[in-house]
Structure 1
Amino acid sequence: MLISSALISIFLLLFFSWYKRKKFNSEETYLLAGKNTKLFPLVATLVMTELNPSTLIAFSGAGYYAGIWALMLPFVFLVGLGFYAFAVAKKWKEWDGYSVAGIFSKRYGILMGRVTSFLLLVAMVGFTATYVKAMYLIFSPLFVIFSQWQLTFIIVCLVLSLNLKGGLRSIIQTDIYSFLAVMIILPSILLFSFLKSDAPVLPILSPQAIVDGSKILPVRFILSLILLTMFTYIAAPWYGQKIVSSESKETAKAGVTLSAVFVFLLYCFPILSVILYKSKIQHLTSGQDSYPLVLNQVLPDYLLGFTYVVLFAIGATTLSGVWSAQTSMVIGDFFSKIEVRKDTRRAYLIMVVFAILSYIAANLLVDQILDKLILANIPVFALSFALLAGFYWEKASAIGAYISTLVGIVWGVFTYLYFGEENIYTFYWSVLGLPLIFGTGILFSYLFPSKKR
């Protein structure tokens, strides 16, 4: 029953992805879906782009150790994406470019644009590597006959087969079906966890449980994640590309606002599932193994197969979205005259290259998913002054952008090496790094003003 339901669900996922797939005759249509995405498809694709297997595994693992206090982790996205909607959603739609790095080229020169693109591309390889590794953790209990290298290879190939030739429009179409399925399946898993758990609910919700949890996930760690999310997502290429694909500025802002609420709610469900069922899966060596274990113990076979495919869709849509954004950046930032290119073979090849990099990095570099996911944000956070000043401050100069970015990277690496994960380096990185980045950016913009006035 389990294998049958999984195969049927995979067939349906492939069918919906390939259904009415159009052959594109230009890279612009392939990468930006015609720039007419309406509100519901935009919300669905933004939610599914953010709802990734790495964060799901990491957050549910935090629920295993920190209990109800771990719900502060989804709250990070509610604030972070809310800030995106307020600060840059309309600005990105106004920009209307192929790559988020394009605004850096326009404001600070083409070299800064290419430096930005390189930094973001490196960060995204790190992100996608954690997504692939998380998908392995989810599916390894089901496919024990495969090694990590073999299973991740199969996963990457399947993801490519879903959306490689359909471009962003195919990704959005798949995201819609995946979003509807996720809205059903994640609450269902929570319900089954509650029904099969023998743990009393009241102690889980007690003030003492919150106090105990805050010792494991300190307030300063949560605060640091809020700041990091606020000032990294504003430059996120996988969001910027989809915002540009929206039909209007109003749709862009409303789409991000609604997606912030849905992302918050959907990440709460896995955390609560693990919390409720923890009494039956105690003594795990790693919290990131908890949610896959819950799935296998609480769900009936007929639903488990479908659930695995939905979880695959969560990872596939995120991976596809990021690979598509990377492809758009390479073409938009390192090649010229994208609009006159009449075929998409170049885009296919670039996307395959990034898929291969994700596969290799997942198997060689990623151990603890949340740690590596956060670490990959160092170059993105460093760009925060240059981006916001590029949108809002005419006096921002190229020298200010370069120096603030360099300071941000150096400070992020220093705090990681000096304080380390055990001493919550993210607090020093974000709380002290933010004024350093913006302070140096402002100072050097005044000392070395732009020649263009």
Structure 2
Amino acid sequence: MPAVLDVFAFLGLVTTLAVVGWRRTTSSSSFTVASRDLGLLPLVATLVMTEFNTSTLMAFAAAGYAAGPVALMLPAVFLVGLVFYTLTVARAWKTFDRLSVAELFAERYSPAVGRTASALLLLAMTGFTATYVKSLALLFAPLAPAAVPLPLLALVLTLVVLAAVLPGGLLSVVRADLVGFVATIVLLPLLLWFGVQAAAAKGGLASVFTQAQRSFDPAVQWNDPALSLRFVLTLVVLTCFTYIAAPWYGQKIFAARSPRVAVRAVAISAVLVFVLYGVVVLAAAHLRVDQPNLPDAQLAVPTMMLRWFPAGVRGLGLAVLFGAALTTLAGVWSAMATMLATDFGSQSWRTVRAQRGLLVVLALTSWLGATFLVDRILDRLILANIPIAALSFALLAGFHWPRANTTAAWASMTVGVLWGTGCYLVVGEAGGYTWPWAIYGIPLIFLTGAAVTLLTTRPLPRSI
């Protein structure tokens, strides 16, 4: 009977997501930017669900399981990063109001810079979507029959996500996000509550984690092998200077009704994303008490739901995670298809039919990447940010420094790509390449761009 209840609950919520999201459209504006008419609630919902994805969720939960409550530092990365986005580019992106974020680089500098920026962003998003597919497959692997190999499960789930986004594009994603958002903010606090109860019966967090792991101490955490503050600080820097160029975020800002709505929505989303991920991190810390010998910490999320939730609620919880993965993956595919059509294709590529064809190709690419390239989810998520970080100077200067020029954009982008790639190849993951990449690389990108700007342009004449 419990299994039957879970199946009905799961199918019920997934069906609701499908029915609400099903909005077949023949309008390219509706398909790509939801007719630029999203109000505050739907925009907040879709921004939150864009960031609340299974790849990050499973990685953060694994950190909570290993390091305890101090792993709340990881959700704080999103809080800082999205607040930075709010203050620096949220209003500017909506004022710019195009289809692709790469159009900024083309209009502000040159078409060649724009196409290069688009290529770098597409390369990064190809890596992101591969990790999303892999995490979705890992999430549902414990529930699939043992005879079903992981690549086949990933393919089936990829096709389900593809079927959800094909009818209405971004509009379908936003409508489904509204349902997923409500279900998520209801169910995740329940997960933490059940976890606290289960851990209390076995001695609570103090029975597993040290005082330093339960109460943040920078001196202790700086090089803690479970989760070092040094590593988290690199993520803060990278998040601040990569999210500003995120195409999946930019596309949804373009869909906002007004600049005021865009700014308010991102600010509210920053807090909500931190809270939701924080709840999961704390729940995973309590799982360490209740289940101390989990073979793979990346499986903490499905383990918590299967172990703690009662019948029916368990099925709803898994449906919420599936919905989060579905809309995040579909949203990134939508942004990629729009960029390919806008930055590299002709006008005919912007038709709804052509966009649907691009989505099919992108889905297949994501599945291939998940099957053959992705092993450790968090590591691959971070690695995929190298091309985006390289654009940080050109983007912020494009909005806020009129003197910046095409030569400076090329120089900063080149240094960013070479430095990030060099750090990965020379220092490597084992050596902690993210530290020199973020802490030295980001300033180097900006210093290069600023120096080249000052050397290659004359100052603007003063007004009399």
Q: Bin the TM-score by the shorter chain.
A: over 0.9
Aligned-pair CA distance for 1:290:
2.3
* Unpaired runs of at least 5, structure 1: none
Question: When the two structures are superposed, what TM-score results if normalisation uses the length of structure 2?
Answer: 0.93
Structure 1 position 401, deviation (Å) = 0.7
Asked whether the equivalents of residues 21 and 164 of structure 2 are also in contact (C-alpha less than 8 Å), the reply is no
Q: Within 5 A, what are the aligned runs for 1:392-403?
A: 392-403=400-411
Contact conserved, 1:199 with 1:276, CA < 8 A, in 2?
A: no
Aligned residues: CA RMSD: 2.1
1:382-402 residue CA offsets vs partner (Å, 9 max, x unmatched): 100010011011111111111
Corresponding residue for residue 446 of structure 1? 454
- Which aligned runs of 4 or more in structure 1 are off by greater than 6 angstroms? none
1:170 deviates by 1.1
Aligned pair partner of 2:286 in 272, 276, 290: 276
SS in 2 for 1:272: helix
For residues 20 and 419 of structure 1, what CA distance do their matches in structure 2 show? Answer: 45
SS in 2 for 1:165: coil
Superposed, 1:307-386 pairs within 5 Å as 307-337=317-347, 343-386=351-394
List per-residue Cα deviations over 1:153-211 (Å, max 9, x = no partner). 11101111112111111110100000000111111111111112223245658346445
Note if 1:252 corresponds to 2:262: yes
The corresponding residue for 1:166 is 168
Q: 1:22 to 1:134 in 2, by over 3 A?
A: closer
2:204 aligned to 200, 203, 228, which one? 200
Counterpart-to-counterpart distance in 1, 2:340 and 2:8: 36
Match runs of 1:121-160 below 5 Å: 121-143=122-144, 144-160=146-162
Cα distance in 1 for partners of 2:382, 2:414 equals 18
Q: What is the aligned partner in structure 1 of residue 271 from structure 2?
A: 261
Check whether the contact 1:78–1:263 (CA below 8 A) recurs between aligned residues.
yes
Contact 2:242 2:385 in 1 (8 A): yes
CA distance, structure 2, for counterparts of residue 355 and residue 441 of structure 1: 36
Residue 65 of structure 2 contacts residue 286 of structure 2 at CA under 8 Å; is this kept in 1?
Answer: no
Unmatched 5+ stretches in structure 2? none
Of the three residues 237, 245, 249, the one matched with 1:239 is 249
User: How many percent of aligned residue pairs carry the same amino acid?
Assistant: 42
Tell me which amino acid in the other structure corresponds to 1:206. Q
Q: Is the Cα–Cα contact under 8 Å of residues 68 and 205 in structure 1 kept in the other structure?
A: no
The answer for the alignment partner of 2:420 in structure 1 is 412
- Report deviation, 1:423: 2.7
Give the 5 Å matches for 1:29-178: 29-143=30-144, 144-178=146-180
Distance in 1 of aligned mates of 2:437 and 2:30: 39
Residue correspondences, number: 451
Does the Cα contact within 8 Å between 1:281 and 1:290 map onto a contact in 2?
no
Query: Closer, same or farther in 2 for the Cα pair 1:169/1:43, shift >3 Å?
Result: same
Alpha-carbon displacement from aligned partner over 1:6-27 (angstroms, at most 9, x marks no partner): 3443344334433484442331
CA distance in 1, matches of 2:4, 2:357: 33
Distance 1:429-1:187 versus aligned 2 partners, 3 A rule = same
CA deviation string 1:73-93 (max 9, x = no partner): 000000000000110000000
C-alpha distance in 2 between matches for 1:49 and 1:208: 30
Q: 1:57 to 1:12 in 2, by over 3 A?
A: closer
Aligned counterpart, 1:187: 189
State the one-letter code of the partner of 1:436: L
1:226 aligns with 2:226: no
Paired AA for residue 386 in structure 2: I
How far off its partner does 1:308 sit? 1.0
Corresponding letter in the other structure for 1:400: A
Q: Contact 1:65 / 1:213 at 8 angstroms: preserved in 2?
A: no
The range that moved more, 233-242 or 138-147, is 138-147
- Give 3-state SS (helix, strand or coil) of 1:119's partner: helix
Partner SS state of residue 387, structure 1: helix
Using the alignment, how far apart are the partners of 1:16 and 1:309 within structure 2?
A: 9
Which region of structure 1 is more displaced relative to structure 2, 280-289 or 96-105? 280-289
Confirm or deny: 8 A CA contact 2:109 2:405 kept in the other structure. Answer: yes
Q: Distance in 2 between matches of 1:320 and 1:289?
A: 23
Equivalence for 1:437:
445
Write the distance in 2 (CA, Å) between the matches of 1:2 and 1:226.
42
- Displacement after TM superposition at 1:446 (Å): 2.8
Deviation larger for 293-302 or 208-217? 208-217
**Deviation larger for 371-380 or 14-23:** 14-23
With 193-202 and 73-82 compared, the bigger mean Cα shift is at: 193-202
**Counterpart contact for 2:5–2:311, Cα < 8 Å:** no
| 1:115-172 Cα deviation digits (max 9, x unpaired) | 1111101100100111111111111001133111110011101111112111111110
Once residues 333 and 135 of structure 1 are traced to their aligned partners in structure 2, the CA distance between those partners, rounded to angstroms, is 30
**Which whole-Å deviations, capped at 9, do the CAs of 1:320-355 have from their partners, x for residues lacking one?**
11000001111111134479x6x4110000011111
Q: Secondary structure at the match of 1:225?
A: helix
> Aligned letter for 2:87?
F
Larger mean CA deviation between 46-55 and 272-281 belongs to 272-281
Task: State how far apart, in whole Å, the 1-side matches of 2:24 and 2:333 are.
Answer: 19
Distance 2:447 2:205 in 1: 48
**Letter matched to residue 65 of structure 1:** A
Does structure 1 retain, via aligned residues, the 8 Å contact 2:30–2:168?
A: no
1:379 maps to amino acid: P
Q: Structure 2: how far apart are the matches of 1:338 and 1:262?
A: 39
Kept in 1, the 8 Å contact 2:416–2:441? The answer is: yes
Q: Supply the distance in 2 between the matched residues of 1:336 and 1:315 (Cα, whole angstroms).
A: 31
Q: Hey, what's the Cα distance between the residues in 1 that align with 2:413 and 2:366?
A: 25
- 1:421 and 1:370 map into 2 onto residues whose CA distance is 11
Task: Mark the CA change 1:104 to 1:88 in structure 2 (over 3 Å): closer, same or farther.
Answer: same
Q: Is the 8 A contact 1:93 1:243 kept in 2?
A: yes
